[in-house]
Every structure is written in C-alpha cells, then in structure tokens.
Amino acid sequence: MGKLAKYLTAGSLALVGVGIGVGIFATVGFNVAMEKTSSNEFCISCHEMAANPWQESLSKAHAQSRVGFTVTCADCHIPQAFIPKMKRKMAASREVWHHFLGTIDSPEKYDLHRQKMAESVWQVMRENDSAACRVCHEATKIGSTAAINAMHQQALGPGTTCITCHKGIAHDLP
C-alpha cells in the first residue's frame, strides 16, 4: 500500500470516489427506471393501452388466477433476462413514438393495427418458446385432467409452443 499511496494524490482519490459515486447513482437510477417502466401503471398511462388491451385483459383468466396471483403486463411482455429485457425496452421506444404520432389513439385505429401487433407478439413467443408463460407454468405439470395432460404432451413437440394453442388467453383475438 505504501507505493500505491505515494502515487495517489488527494485529487486522484477524490476523482475515484466521484466515479464510484456516479456509478452507484447511475446503477440505482437505471434499476429504478427499469422497474417504473415495467409497471402496469406505466403501461396503462397511455390512454390507448388503458382503453384497449388493459380493459380486455381484465375479463381474462390471467387478470386474477384461481390462486390469487395477478399477472402484470411485464410478466408477459418484458423478458426477465437482462439482454432480452434491454432489446424489448429498445423496441418499446418505437411504441412510445407511435403513441405520440397517434397511430392507435382511438378504438378504430387500434383495431386496424391489432392483427399486426398480435402477430408481432406471437412471433416473439414462438421464437423464445413462450418463455414468459413458462416462468409460471411448468409444461409437464400444467394439466388438471388426463385429456389436458395428453394435449400438453403433444405441445412439448418441436415447433409447438404455448401460443400455438392459447392465442387470446390474455387479450381479445384480432
């Protein structure tokens, strides 16, 4: 430590301290921003989300499960892993842009774009093997009857994922 102390001046120590402080502040701020922009309150702060997908989701099974668990927008639409989450957040910036453009700001405009928006979400779910579903639902234990279990065993095959059969489970179909 003696040699190191000789090379470090009070100014360089202060600079390192400021750097560490800024790093901590940026990390905490980033995490708070990620949490806030992943909340239902943030998602439905745009009137087109509150009036359309949010309202229709309230009548679906995922609004409140039989065991009392309520699914949030982020549970299905924002991946948990860091890199996929960041990619999704970047893609969401396009959605914010369209909010300001008024692309889907009325029920009629929303319905015009509903098919394209649904296809986009379904494609992501096919690509990631319905990862969001699998956070809560274990495919091998999902059925409550022998018939349902048999159907889900077929769904475990290649090219089949939750969204293949369960379109419309959380939102109205286009």
Q: pTM for the complete prediction?
A: 0.75
Q: What is the pLDDT of residue 140?
A: 56
Q: What does the pLDDT look like over 46-58, one tens digit per residue?
A: 888 888 889 888 8
- DSSP letter string over the chain? -HHHHHH--HHHHHHHHHHHHHHHHHHHHHHHHHHHTTSHHHHTTSHHHIIIIIHHHTTSGGGS-TTSPPPPHHHHHS-SSHHHHHHHHHHHHHHHHHHHHTTT-SHHHHHHHHHHHHHHHHHHHHHTTSHHHHHH--GGG--SSHHHHHHHHHHTSTT--HHHH-TTSSS---
Q: What is the pLDDT of residue 109?
A: 92
Q: What does the pLDDT look like over 100-133, one tens digit per residue?
A: 899 998 889 999 999 999 999 999 999 998 889 8
Q: What is the pLDDT of residue 164?
A: 87
Percent above pLDDT 90 for the chain:
26
